[in-house]
């Protein structure tokens, strides 16, 4: 008898609270949390460290093939190093869309993400989980919030890390990222037709978590 694995897909724009919420749901329901956005940020991190441009697709793909990624306690381990604290730096946020738009890079990472979902009960968040990575996910959610709300969340997050950041610049980056994510040729950000949309503007984390878990438990 084949036992199907439980899979939960959470999509949405940058700063909608996907990662924070997915981590909590994962712990509450004993699921493996896979932050696909972190995986693209990890590629961006290494490419920038090695001065590889997103235009140099061949070199980027060679780089991706050398990366070993897995998650421990919801944090990304890249080639044996916990790089979680580096992945939300402004320089990564500004450049990640360019690398995430590369078709060949997406193909490599999507294959890896799908393999994870066949082995474990998972919850994944990203931009194209419900539409591409886990088309047959048991549950699909699309989280959104106003650009201003998302920029404010990111501003507070970076401030708490002691970084000198400017709200207006973060808001501009969020708006630019939204445009790039929704207009890219390969796997653009779009709500899956069978996804449940939740606007997180004005809601606290626990309210959103409770909403999502009520659907899954039902």
Q: Which residues are annotated as a binding site?
A: 12-20
What letter would DSSP give residue 110?
A: H
Annotated binding site for ATP: 12-20
For residue 138, the Cα-to-chain-centroid distance in whole angstroms is 18
Task: Look at the chain and count its residues.
Answer: 218
CB atoms within 10 A of CB 136: 10
**Could you tell me if 13 and 144 are in contact, meaning their C-beta atoms sit under 8 angstroms apart?**
yes
- Round to whole Å and give the CA distance between 154 and 161: 11
Q: Supply 176's token pair.
A: 């630019």
- Round to whole Å and give the CA distance between 134 and 215: 18
């Amino acid at each position: 008898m084949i036992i199907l694995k439980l899979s939960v897909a959470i999509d949405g724009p940058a700063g909608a609270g996907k990662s924070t919420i997915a981590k909590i749901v994962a712990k509450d329901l004993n699921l493996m949390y896979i932050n696909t956005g972190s995986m693209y940020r990890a590629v961006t991190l290494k490419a920038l460290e090695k001065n590889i441009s997103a235009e140099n697709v061949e070199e980027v793909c060679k780089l991706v093939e050398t990366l070993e990624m897995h998650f421990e306690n919801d944090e990304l381990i890249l080639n044996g190093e916990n790089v979680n604290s580096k992945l939300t730096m402004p320089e990564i946020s500004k450049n990640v869309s360019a690398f995430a738009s590369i078709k060949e890079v997406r193909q490599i990472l999507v294959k890896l993400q799908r393999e994870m979902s066949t082995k474990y009960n998972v919850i994944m968040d990203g931009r194209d989980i419900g539409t591409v990575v886990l088309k047959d996910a048991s549950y699909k959610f699309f989280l959104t919030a106003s650009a201003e709300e998302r920029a404010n969340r990111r501003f507070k997050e970076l401030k708490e890390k002691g970084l000198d950041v400017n709200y207006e610049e973060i808001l501009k980056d969020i708006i630019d990222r939204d445009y790039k994510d929704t207009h890219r040729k390969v796997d653009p950000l779009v709500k899956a037709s069978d996804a449940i949309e939740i606007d997180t503007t004005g809601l606290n984390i626990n309210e959103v978590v409770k909403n999502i878990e009520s659907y899954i438990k039902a």
